[in-house]
Amino acid sequence: MSNASDQNPCFLDVEQSASGQKWLDRLDNITRNVALDIAQSIDVSELAARVMAGRGVASEDALKFLTPTIRDLMPDPSVMTDMDKAAERLSDAITAGERVAIFGDYDVDGASSSALMSRFLSHHAVASEIYIPDRIFEGYGPNPNAINELIDKGAKLIITVDCGATSFEALEAARERNIDVIVLDHHQMGTEKPPAIALVNPNRQDDLSGLGYLCAAGVVFLTLVATTRTLRNREFYKDGKTAPDLMQWLDIVALATVCDVVPLVGLNRAFVVKGLTVMHAQQNMGLRELAKVARLDGPASPYHLGFMLGPRINAGGRIGDAALGARLLCSDDPYEAEEISEQLEMLNKQRQAAEAVMLEQAIAEADAEIGDGDGPTVLITESDDWHPGIVGLLASRLKDRFHRPTFAIAFDSMGKGAGSGRSISGVDIGAAVRAAVDEGILVKGGGHAMAAGLTVMREQLGALRAFMDDYLSKSVEKVQGVQVLKIDGALTAASATLNLIEILERAGPYGAGHPNPIFAFPAHRVQFAKIVGKDHVSVTLTSGDGARLRGIAFRAADTEIGKTLLNLRGHPIHVAGTLTADFWQGTRRVQLRIIDVAEIKAGY
């Protein structure tokens, strides 16, 4: 099946790069005209205009795009199904001073969502408890034992965040004891709804809000907006009672939005832009201390959230105390925040070491399964020796390496496997997992288009492989035909300046759904290249005028990209990557994150 990109000439004549990709200009004739219109109509550089046009920004929306505000992009929370019910019941709990239990997930989004709700309740002097399940012993989402335990401890209302939409048995346990449950979730779900007094989920099938791109923390934030409005309408805020400043918690929302890899579009983009501003003020004690142990130098960016702070918060849920992340984000005690941050740092190092061993095993298994041919449409790797808290990371690494949907499964001694899947753009593994549950192949499972979790018995592993291959083969084949790397423009080492990065930042922040600009550096000489850390490749590139640019290819030492850089030291090659500014000993400097390279064709 062809598309318009098939007829475009290859950028720098790169038909197949070291990673097997064709390089194409991100802009076609239509978007080039849009970029020109943007540059002429508002005060923005031509390069920033190209970046915006290449990401679908229309010329009439460009000015608002550059200055996203919560006020402009925030919808009325009531557009979400059951939101008014949730706000009324939560307001009842606050007015009556009922004890509230918050049941969260063990990832960053779950910790952030739990912390938001806890801080909101604390502001209103309502007693609450956060319960994060143990990943290994309890698994994802509410379970009857935990629900009954919370009720026994006095909970009169249970709020599930980032989970609960498919927790039928657990929520039935609450109903049997006459305890109301509010579900605040964003995961895909079928038509059946759990027994809850309110189910707020923009991805429920009867929700027409168009907010399905929100992470759970975004859903929780809108719930807090709706509840504050309800309390105001009830004239609750009087006699010394004040409404909370919800904007002060946008740093937590931004963290979850970036780490849950939801699209940085619409309201999400405003959350991140404004949240980073809040984070720069370092008001959240936990985030401030975590930034210290992560050695985050300079103002926080989406990269820092996604690759430095997020993994450390996740480390607690992966191999340690799952509640550490939520406790950190709730803490106003500098000593407690410092202690938790140091624990998370230690756990993250342990996670990295375990991941390295598991990844080596997984790659060997995948290589053997794929062999010299194309291999399976969907890659499913498994082991009895893997830590179930790290299988999601394995799936992500393997998906990137082999460019196909991937599941990694850790089996216990009873033959029960906890698995995690990651997908490629255009292939919905969340739907595939739900279909496998309906077929009786999986014990349970669910998730998003790009990420999913599952539980499977070993005797069903063969059936799972066959089912996934059959269910996803057509969509994988459709997107795998030709791998394309879209290039935003060509630069030289001399033009890669801090000023250029500041220009590009106007069109940011970048992340899922709004990708970082990718630039090609034509015929730059690899003056220096060596392996740093365990498997990163550090390089120095020089252009024809002698200008230099530092670059690094992460986790590339044993890939074709890394081998090309190391083998062609002293030779000119085409290099593609994203520009970043890091801080070194207090000095801001430019660095290229290399994502692809290509040898130069004869006659170029």
* 550 conformational bin, left if phi > 0, alpha if psi -120 to 50, beta if neither: beta
State residue 585's pLDDT score.
67
Over residues 388-398, mean pLDDT: 92
**Please, what is the average pLDDT of the chain?**
92
CA distance 541 to 562: 14
Q: What is the pLDDT of residue 59?
A: 93
Asked if 541 contacts 493 with a C-beta cutoff of 8 angstroms, the reply is yes
Q: How far apart are CA 236 and CA 125, in angstroms?
A: 13
Q: What is the DSSP string of 542-558?
A: E-TTS-EEEEEETT-TT
Please report, for residues 347, 528, 573, the alpha-carbon distance to residue 567 in angstroms, rounded to integers and kept in the order given. 36, 11, 11
- Rounded CA-CA distance 527/548 in Å is 9
pLDDT, position 317: 85
Is the Cβ–Cβ distance between 405 and 427 less than 8 Å?
A: yes
What stretches of 162-216 adopt beta strand conformation (E)? 180-184, 198-200
Rounded to 5 degrees, φ, ψ at 359 are: -65, -40
Consecutive H or E run containing 217: helix 216-233
Q: What is the mean pLDDT of residues 156-182?
A: 96
Give the class (CATH, top level) of 76-345: alpha beta
pLDDT of residue 446: 85
DSSP state of 480: H
Q: What is the pLDDT of residues 501-542, one digit of tens each?
A: 998 988 989 988 899 999 999 999 999 999 998 889 999 999
What is the SS3 string spanning 52-91?
HHCCCCCHHHHHHHHCCCHHHHCCCHHHCCCHHHHHHHHH
The amino acid sitting at 136 is: I
Specify burial of residue 134 (Cβ count, 10 A radius: 0-12, 13-18, 19+): middle
Average pLDDT over residues 589-593: 94
CATH topology of domain 4-54+488-598: OB fold (Dihydrolipoamide Acetyltransferase, E2P) (2.40.50)
Distance from C-alpha of 134 to C-alpha of 273, rounded to nearest angstrom: 33
- Indicate the pLDDT class of residue 3, thresholds 50, 70 and 90: very low
Helix axes 250-259 and 216-233, enclosed angle (nearest 10):
150
Task: Characterize 426-461 residue by residue with b for buried, 16 or more Cβ atoms within 10 angstroms of its Cβ, and e for exposed.
Answer: ebbbbbbbbbbbeeebbeebbbbebbbbbbbbeebb
Buried residues in 206-233 as b, exposed as e (16+ CB within 10 A): ebebebebbbbbbbbbbbbbbbbbbbee
Q: How confident is the model at residue 2 (pLDDT cuts 50, 70, 90)?
A: very low
Q: How far apart are CA 500 and CA 442, in angstroms?
A: 50
Q: What is the CA radius of gyration of the chain?
A: 25
The DSSP code sequence of 375-398 is: --SSEEEEESSS-TTTHHHHHHHH
Q: Note the Cα 462 to chain centre separation in Å.
A: 30
The first and second tokens of residue 182, run together, are 């509010």
| Separation of alpha carbons 508 and 516, rounded Å | 8
> 536-542 and 548-553: which strand pairing?
antiparallel
CA 158 to chain centre: 27
User: What residues form DSSP beta bridges with 445?
Assistant: 454
* pLDDT at res. 4: 41
Every domain of the chain and the residues it spans: 4-54+488-598, 76-345, 374-480
Q: Tell me if 316 sits within 8 A of 324, measured CB to CB.
A: yes
| pLDDT tier at 1, thresholds 50, 70, 90 | very low
Confidence at 107, pLDDT banded by 50, 70, 90: very high
Residues 258, 244: contact at Cβ < 8 Å?
no
DSSP conformation class of 11: G
Q: What is the pLDDT of residues 19-77, one digit of tens each?
A: 989 999 999 999 999 999 999 999 888 889 999 999 999 999 999 898 899 999 999 99
User: Would you place residue 7 in the very low, low, confident or very high pLDDT band (cuts 50, 70, 90)?
Assistant: low
Question: What CATH architecture does domain 374-480 belong to?
Answer: Roll (3.10)
Percentage of residues in the chain with pLDDT exceeding 90?
78
**Global pTM?**
0.89
Most confident of 320-324, 386-390, 501-505, 572-576: 572-576
Report pLDDT digits (tens) over 109-130. Answer: 999 999 999 999 999 999 999 9
Confidence of residue 184 (pLDDT cuts 50, 70, 90): very high
Q: Could you write out the three-class secondary structure of 315-328?
A: HHHHHCCCCHHHHH
Look up residue 180 and give its amino acid. Answer: D
Classify 523 as helix, strand or coil: strand
Tens digits of residue pLDDT in 431-449: 999 999 999 999 989 888 8
Structure tokens at 187: 């995961």
Q: What is the pLDDT of residue 603?
A: 60
Using the Cα atoms of residue 292, residue 295, residue 299 and residue 304 in order, give the sign of their dihedral. Answer: negative
- Convert the pLDDT of each residue in 555-580 to its tens digit: 899 899 999 999 999 999 999 999 99
